[in-house]
Structure 1
Amino acid sequence: MLAGTATAAGSPPPQPSPHELSETARLADRRSLVVGDRAYAMGDESGLYPATGWHIRGEMGGFWTQPIKVLDGLWFGLDGKWLGKDTAAAKYTSGHGYSRIDYPGAVQVRRTDFVPDGLRATLVGLTLSSPTAKTVSLDVDAHSELMSSYPWGWTTPSAADANLPDTGAYGNGTLRFREQSSKHDYAAYVGSSLRPTNHALGPNHRGPQDPAVICPADGTTPARCDDSLVGKGTGGRLTYDVDLKPGKTKTIWFAVAGSDAGPQAAQRDYDRALSNPDKLLQAKENDRQQIDQMSAVDLPGDRLLQQSVEWSKQNLADSVQEARDLQIRDVNEGKDYPAPVGTVGTARWFGAGFPDYPWLFATDGEYTSYAAVAAGQFDTVKAHLKALRDISDLLNARSGKVAHEIIPTGDVYFGSNQSAGNTDETVKFPSIVALLWRWTGDDRFRDDFYDFSVRNLQYVYRELDQDKDGWPEGLANVERSGMGAEKLDSTVYLARGLRDLADLAASRHDRKVEQWATARAKDVEARFEAQWWVPQALGYADSVDDPANPANDNTPIFQRHWTGVTPMEAELVRPGRPTSPLASPEHAATALTQRETACYTGEFGLFHTGTGPTSDPAGNPGASCDSVVSQVKSERSIFSLNTSIMAVAEGNYGRLGPNQQRVYTTGNARIQLDPKVWETPGAMPEIAPSPDSAANIGRPFYDRSMTLQAWGTYGILWPVIHQQLGVDPDLGHGRVSVVPQIPAGQPKVAGSNIRLGRGAIDVSARLAGKEIRTDLTVHDVKAAFTIGAVIPAGATLNDVTLNGRATPYRVVTTSRGTEVHVAARGSATLRITLA
């Protein structure tokens, strides 16, 4: 419907979509979120806007368009009663690319929010219906907060130093807000295609949240605030008379548009958003339907995981952000604010998490890339890598070091040449280049990123191995005290990165780099187990070489962090050998079994830091599963990334059972899909409810972890597409392997439209009695195919046929178990009969 139009009484009521999830309880305690690539909005699920987030305390919610905030909120009142306060919300619904809130009453209201991709604007539609003819007075309050995403609350300068007072005006039916200085011109437009009958301007206009409760900078803080001390916004109200007819609905669309390039740019996107909101909503739904149709899976033995695949693909799409004209500067963890070293014209990326981390990270993006290629979302992976490379080269003078955390302004909080890390994301970068090259076969892409990939690993050996022992130094994933100079995860990802760089080099006939990377990879692999395995811990050391103890020369330091799983998680591609993780099969089995215990695993997945003997004054709050005395306390917070790492590690060793991988895929799926657990329906959060991390809905809005964090999708999409369905492309070399493994006790796993290069494949694997059947359908993928299956442990082969005929086959032992491989030219049906 166009703004202000009506629907005939005879039209059937809209039916619930199968791609929607709804919540009715504690809506005011839950965050809502709608995202487009140029804007996003967050409030609560009743339609109000509590002060949210902590980077700029209380200011991370509301309406944003990177790199600025636009509004604190947008409130609606009907005949003097504010929706969400005087008229309670009855239901909140998350859809693919949109949200809805239903309000019952004499006049029923359905609110629909979405953000059109490509526009710096958010659209909100109110659909009104009444059983009797009436004219209602509709008030719309808007409170501006034009503010840059950096500086933050504690940095120098701070957000309070940088934020300037907004001004408000009314013109041609719209509220217009502006914040100007000699260096910037921020603007916002708010309004509808309907003509208001009245308007007002003033410092408040927060609907039912006036007078505002202000979050103090420190000290005792109310459980719920409406604004922050940093806020310097202003407000306005638009009032409309809306005629309603019995038995008909009327939809009115409102737009919030913003720009960091002045009011004309804001008005352009405002006008485009309101030109045809229904068409834009249909385009959004169509785009999301296409995403849903890629990597569509059928898992009759695990419908929860199947549903999580569906929503994880949407979570990835909801994480895409874009900014223009980023001014690149090293702010040195908030201590400095120098002149920029250069400008990046456009950056596009997977935002790490909402509301406090919607910007560009290397660590997050590298893990998320595995989920994204499995979902067929190649373009954003490439864009993310390009943004990291372009910004890192400017920031670090082409040293090869990858920047860690980049705000959409271009300010780099951490990751310059002067920073102590993060080593892991520098050594991971070549692996993500190799990953995308293998899934796309795009040699141009490979060539574009090859030089930077070479410089990544050369930098590590030049700058981050001062003792020349081959173990990389510097900070890594675990940002905790007490660790040694050389970290396990950096070592593991270095080993993988060296092999991947060697593969890239070989494909380009760069013999020098290939030999350099291969020699170093072989050195790391040969010495790894002897250096890092701690027998009494039943696992790998978290780090070695304690800098506080000069006598500690590569003595293992064991602290039970989640990174102890990485030797089983990262797969190494080695010529002439099956792809497998760095950990030996024997040590992997021991370590994974240990991590499945109550010392490391809770209801929703893997703890950040396991329990056990410790010298820390806090003591040990949980079980003890080894005899090593750690110097740090446990941290029984379950991050969706940690659980993902464990899910992937289990799958790498064929451990798909109900007490193995399924524990971790189910953990991540439940925090996303279980109404008893979720905060925002369908959104994978950063941290699960855990013994040491209470559920977000019980915490103040300004003191929560992220309600949507992209990295958790790694533990859903990669285990299903790559491990259970066995899709393992190497299109850079013209090969594709499809070797499914059906989880024990399940009859079938299947996936369709799994994107490879410019084509796709469908895969199905069934186990019925003594027969395993793998069906492969190829759509426009030119490659040499290997089709097969992982056979159950202890089973023996009786017969193998391809397309109904006896065929040559190979039996290959891998880290997953015993695999049967058959060469195929394309679409094929493989039947394996067991004795």
Structure 2
Amino acid sequence: MKKLLSTLFSLFILACSPKAEQSLNNLLKDSTKIEGKKNYLGSPYVTAGNRVYMVGHQDGTFPALGWHIKGEMGGIWNHPIKLMDGFDVEMVVNGQVLALSKASEFVNYPYANKHLFEFKEEDLIIERIQFVPDSVQGILIQFVIKNNNTKKIDGNVKFTGHTNLRPTWLGERSNMVDSKDSAAFHDNYWIVKDSVNTWYTIFGSDQRPISSDELKNSEKPNGVSNSLEFVVTIPAKSEKTLNIAIAGSYDSRTDAINTYNNILENFVPMAEAKKARYKELANQSKLTIPDKHLQDTFEWLKYNCDWLVRTIPEIGSGIGAGIPDYPWYFGVDSEYALKGYMAIGQDKIVEQTIRLLDSVSMAVNSNGRILHEMSTNGVVFNKGNINETPQFASLIWEIYKWNGDKEFLATYFPTIKKGLKWLLEENDDNKNLFPDGFGMMEIHGLDSEMIDVAAYTQRAFADAALMARELNETELAREYRKLADQLKEKINTEFWSETFQSYADFIGTDEQALKLIEDALVRADTLNKPWAIEELETTKKQILSNPSNEPRPFVLYHNWVVNTPMEMGIADSTKAIVALDNAKQFTNPFGVFVTGIDRDETAGDDSGSFKGSKVFSYTGAVMTLPTGVQAVAENNYGRPNEALDYLKRMSRSFSYALPGSIYEVSPDYGMITQAWNIYSFAVPIVNQFFGIKPLAHQKTVVIEPQLPKEWDNAALENVKVGDNIISIWRSQSESGHQIKITQTQPDWKIQVVLPDDGYTAQEGDAQTETKNGKTVFTFTEATMVVGKN
């Protein structure tokens, strides 16, 4: 009798609860979405939030994922701890067990995702929708059960959560020691605690279960599995919802309970708020171009950027590098990515990430060296590769040009001065201005004088000179400018290889080169690259027949970093064009090879793709960062059509495996979403194609567009520069060519730079002058139009 009353009460609650009828589908109806591919249902997705995120497979399962903590990088994370490995769901109808483990469809939305499970014999469809509210340590899972039958359906839904409270990577270094979990059922939810630590997971529903069971979990000796079972009755041709909240805390039971209750009570307004915020993200730096696939790619990259925000109140907020294996903080990844984040208006997280990197780097290094990798528990794994310190300097100058905040500049310039001093005083043994040590290429032995370290060091001193002048440190500005000029000259002479029509991978001794050649030969032989073997053997013979006692430049690997002198605009134009053309042979349809000797025999043709190894490796990889660097480099030398080609190659990976995202390694290997992708798109599009060169500290924006030929009609709207908003429209018709620009702060100066080719000011009062074969129109109005007939 008691069980019957409980069942009836549950049915009453299910039928009458207003939350039960608040289907998230209503909110998703007018949201942009992308449906996944059937053949990628067995691959990962992410439900993202800045506090909690969930990683599973598109088919609805939660297999072991990742290598940083082997098999543990999936599931539900509330850094610096994990909450759950995942969950299983099944519905029993007429004695038949319907497992929600083989979704027929996966749909991704900017702020949520959905799995569709079809049970044709029962005429039943179950949708699983999930989203993570902003700044909340929990997730809402909603099941929409649709009865398409002409008869009602009576059934039970069983939800089993596999809790695994454990620390993140390097937890043992911060005294985070995992212990056995224990669980207790309270009212209508399970509360799980690590027996030694104050780590909690809570999961349950706003509908009372008819039973709850604690299950044995033999696979995870420190985890537990617990289930909740609900009775559902669904009238003919109707639907019911079941809401599950999963919440956690790494320091408070009360916080976990309050979060759990808050999600169940307020998930609809929370979802509405996140939807509205994502609409704002889409409208910032809004791109409209003829190529709708590339346009969609750019829009979704803005969402990807937000997916990677990781907030740990005790540490701060910052962008992670990638999901699932790199959700924590990196120096160099941020130094590329944040330039792109700024160009799309996500300035708050830019300044938060910089604050985090600076404060932790100074705490662990104290000498201006910028850290490389830091876990979410605060443990720094790598105190910094050589390139990260100069790149930090250039990042600060770039962000200052966007925000115009002199206090921001003054805050970080002391770190920059220390870092540049450390760079040359402690890492340049032969005092030739080329620092020694690892740069972007993580290949054993490539730690002498690297081309990317040299290029980024030159740019750092050039940018530091501008910062010093801005802060009235005149003598220091002259010193930095002199070093920058010397480095530019040395890079163009000492790193250039006429034989290979390329800048060298590194400058080193013959002994270093011969050892690296042996390693490279093994690699080329393993990958079956006979052309690379022949080239390497030839280089080896040349070294042995013409030995040198002095370090000299070597081209061995054709690593992508040989293009950084063009990315930084250091290369003289003659060398740059030759090197850019030469680089095309180290591409495939998706972009640029990380290591050139790995290229396919059919490189440059529309065939072939990367086949990743089971043991995680970047060998043979094509990646978005090298490809984006090449696009930036092409634009620097007035070749927007070639730059667009690289963007198109990268965009071929968009939605290839995870709808709405671009993988780290093209097209479908490594991280399922990656922070530096936005650098590879936003800088070429915003700064170069549309030519927006911010000078917020001078209340000036220089606009020097160089749009690809294909973009006859294009627009970039709502670009944030300081407290100004800039929009640009370019139109072309038989009657002529027109560029319209608006700004929200008409006291600012807008300088439009165009070829000296018959352009006139058609709207607005412009001062006009000609410089170096270009016409400069200077406006101080809300709307201005320049064109020619």
TM-score interval, normalised by the smaller of the two chains: 0.7 to 0.9
Q: Which amino acid aligns with 1:355?
A: P
Aligned to 1:334: none
Change (3 A) 1:779 1:150: same
Q: 1:688 aligns with which of 666, 680, 704?
A: 666
CA deviation after TM superposition for structure 1 residue 758, in Å: 2.0
**Quick check: 1:140 aligned with 2:159?**
yes
Q: Which amino acid aligns with 1:476?
A: G
Change (3 A) 1:634 1:548: farther
Q: 1:591 aligns with which of 579, 591, 605?
A: 579
Conservation of the 8 A alpha-carbon contact between 2:27 and 2:272: no
Q: 1:670 aligns with which of 635, 652, 663?
A: 652
Change (3 A) 1:465 1:263: same
Q: Which amino acid aligns with 1:685?
A: Y
Change (3 A) 1:484 1:54: closer
Output the CA distance in 2 between the equivalents of 1:806 and 1:24.
52
1:608-647 aligned at under 5 Å gives the runs 608-611=594-597, 622=601, 635-647=619-631
Output the CA distance in 2 between the equivalents of 1:247 and 1:538.
70
Change (3 A) 1:552 1:186: farther
Aligned to 1:575: none
Question: 1:794-815 CA distances to partner (integer Å, 9 max, x unpaired)?
Answer: xx723523427886232446xx
Question: 1:455-511 CA distances to partner (integer Å, 9 max, x unpaired)?
Answer: 221211221112111011111100013425111111111111112111111111122
Q: 2:691 aligns with which of 704, 713, 726?
A: 726
Q: Secondary structure at the match of 2:313?
A: strand
Conservation of the 8 A alpha-carbon contact between 1:308 and 1:716: no
CA deviation after TM superposition for structure 1 residue 163, in Å: 3.1
Q: Could you tell which deviates more after superposition, 401-410 or 129-138?
A: 129-138
Change (3 A) 1:634 1:19: closer
Change (3 A) 1:508 1:231: farther
Output the CA distance in 1 between the equivalents of 2:603 and 2:786.
47
Q: Secondary structure at the match of 1:408?
A: coil
Aligned to 1:232: 222
Aligned to 1:129: 146
Q: Which amino acid aligns with 1:380?
A: I
Aligned to 2:313: 324
**Quick check: 1:26 aligned with 2:39?**
yes
Aligned to 2:551: 554
Change (3 A) 1:745 1:769: farther
Conservation of the 8 A alpha-carbon contact between 2:761 and 2:777: no
**Quick check: 1:282 aligned with 2:272?**
yes
Question: 1:127-156 CA distances to partner (integer Å, 9 max, x unpaired)?
Answer: 12224333321100001111111238xxx8
Conservation of the 8 A alpha-carbon contact between 1:2 and 1:277: no
Conservation of the 8 A alpha-carbon contact between 2:41 and 2:105: no
TM-score norm. by structure 1 comes to: 0.82
Aligned to 1:564: 562
CA deviation after TM superposition for structure 1 residue 608, in Å: 0.7
**Quick check: 1:115 aligned with 2:132?**
yes
Conservation of the 8 A alpha-carbon contact between 1:3 and 1:277: no
Aligned to 1:430: 393
Q: Secondary structure at the match of 1:526?
A: helix
Aligned to 1:314: 303
CA deviation after TM superposition for structure 1 residue 724, in Å: 1.1
Name segments (4+ residues, structure 1) moved above 6 Å. Answer: 11-15, 156-159
**Quick check: 1:49 aligned with 2:65?**
no
Question: 1:309-361 CA distances to partner (integer Å, 9 max, x unpaired)?
Answer: 10111110111001133xxxxxxxxxxxxxxxxxxxx3211110100000000
CA deviation after TM superposition for structure 1 residue 820, in Å: 3.3
Output the CA distance in 2 between the equivalents of 1:149 and 1:32.
20
CA deviation after TM superposition for structure 1 residue 108, in Å: 2.0
Output the CA distance in 1 between the equivalents of 2:158 and 2:759.
74
CA deviation after TM superposition for structure 1 residue 15, in Å: 7.7
Output the CA distance in 2 between the equivalents of 1:2 and 1:502.
65
Conservation of the 8 A alpha-carbon contact between 1:202 and 1:234: yes
CA deviation after TM superposition for structure 1 residue 821, in Å: 2.1
Output the CA distance in 1 between the equivalents of 2:718 and 2:472.
33
Output the CA distance in 1 between the equivalents of 2:350 and 2:654.
23
Change (3 A) 1:422 1:546: farther
CA deviation after TM superposition for structure 1 residue 749, in Å: 2.1
Change (3 A) 1:253 1:782: farther
**Quick check: 1:803 aligned with 2:772?**
no
Output the CA distance in 2 between the equivalents of 1:384 and 1:12.
34
Aligned to 1:185: 198
Aligned to 1:38: 51
Conservation of the 8 A alpha-carbon contact between 2:767 and 2:779: no
Q: 1:411 aligns with which of 379, 392, 406?
A: 379
Aligned to 2:520: none
Output the CA distance in 1 between the equivalents of 2:651 and 2:17.
37
**Quick check: 1:102 aligned with 2:116?**
yes
Question: 1:239-282 CA distances to partner (integer Å, 9 max, x unpaired)?
Answer: 11123233443222211112210322222221222221111111
CA deviation after TM superposition for structure 1 residue 441, in Å: 1.0
Change (3 A) 1:800 1:406: same
Conservation of the 8 A alpha-carbon contact between 2:87 and 2:161: yes
Q: Which amino acid aligns with 1:170?
A: F
Bigger helix share = 2
Conservation of the 8 A alpha-carbon contact between 2:588 and 2:603: no
Output the CA distance in 2 between the equivalents of 1:567 and 1:679.
33
Conservation of the 8 A alpha-carbon contact between 2:745 and 2:782: no
1:743-782 aligned at under 5 Å gives the runs 743-769=708-734, 771-780=736-745, 782=747
Output the CA distance in 1 between the equivalents of 2:285 and 2:264.
34
Q: Secondary structure at the match of 1:737?
A: strand
Q: Which amino acid aligns with 2:780?
A: R
Aligned to 1:176: 191
**Quick check: 1:498 aligned with 2:461?**
yes
Aligned to 2:534: none
TM-score norm. by structure 2 comes to: 0.86
Tell me the percent identity.
24
Gaps in structure 1 of 5+ consecutive residues: 205-211, 213-226, 326-345, 416-420, 571-580, 613-619, 626-632, 690-694, 697-704, 814-818
Aligned to 1:401: 369
Conservation of the 8 A alpha-carbon contact between 2:768 and 2:775: no
Conservation of the 8 A alpha-carbon contact between 2:587 and 2:603: no
**Quick check: 1:716 aligned with 2:681?**
yes
Q: Which amino acid aligns with 2:261?
A: D
Output the CA distance in 2 between the equivalents of 1:810 and 1:274.
64
Output the CA distance in 2 between the equivalents of 1:812 and 1:770.
28
Q: Which amino acid aligns with 2:552?
A: T
Conservation of the 8 A alpha-carbon contact between 1:604 and 1:671: yes
Conservation of the 8 A alpha-carbon contact between 1:24 and 1:90: no
CA deviation after TM superposition for structure 1 residue 743, in Å: 0.6
**Quick check: 1:81 aligned with 2:120?**
no
Question: 1:202-257 CA distances to partner (integer Å, 9 max, x unpaired)?
Answer: 223xxxxxxx8xxxxxxxxxxxxxx6xx7631110001112323344322221111
Change (3 A) 1:552 1:665: farther
Q: Which amino acid aligns with 2:758?
A: N
Conservation of the 8 A alpha-carbon contact between 2:41 and 2:106: no
Aligned pairs, how many? 719
CA deviation after TM superposition for structure 1 residue 554, in Å: 3.4
Aligned to 2:7: none
Change (3 A) 1:353 1:82: farther
Output the CA distance in 1 between the equivalents of 2:475 and 2:18.
64
Q: Which amino acid aligns with 2:264?
A: L
Change (3 A) 1:640 1:590: same
CA deviation after TM superposition for structure 1 residue 649, in Å: 1.2
Conservation of the 8 A alpha-carbon contact between 1:83 and 1:89: no
Q: Secondary structure at the match of 1:185?
A: coil
**Quick check: 1:661 aligned with 2:676?**
no
CA deviation after TM superposition for structure 1 residue 158, in Å: 12
Q: 1:464 aligns with which of 427, 435, 441?
A: 427
Aligned to 2:85: 72
Question: 1:31-80 CA distances to partner (integer Å, 9 max, x unpaired)?
Answer: 12111110100011111100010111111000001111110002221116
